[in-house]
Amino acid sequence: MASARCETCGQPQGLKHKYPYLHTPVPPSNFLCGAPACALPAFVWLTEEEEQKYLNGERSFRLSNHAVHVQLT
């Protein structure tokens, strides 16, 4: 599942999966960074598997909190 982190907090670390691919949600989102104590607007970080789906045209991804879907450009 995709992860949400702001540009300042950067790539999610220490999680079960690696999230090396950064994307901007469309339209610009009003959801916040998933890092503790951070309230900045979030970017979407994808796993290798999700990035392959993105490259094949998929644009809707579920975030790791199971509550939100985001659409990417």
Domain spans, the chain: 3-72
Query: In the sheet where 43-46 sits, what is the strand order?
Result: 3-5, 43-46, 21-23
Q: Quick one: pLDDT band at residue 66, thresholds 50, 70, 90?
A: very low
Exposed (0-12), middle (13-18) or buried (19+): which is 44, by Cβ within 10 Å?
Answer: buried
Q: Supply the pTM of this predicted model.
A: 0.79
Mean pLDDT of 6-33: 82
Tell me the pLDDT of the chain averaged across its residues.
Answer: 82
Local confidence band at 64 (pLDDT 50, 70, 90 cut-offs): confident
pLDDT of residue 54: 96
d(C-alpha 13, C-alpha 37), whole Å: 16
Peptide bond into 27 cis (omega under 30): yes
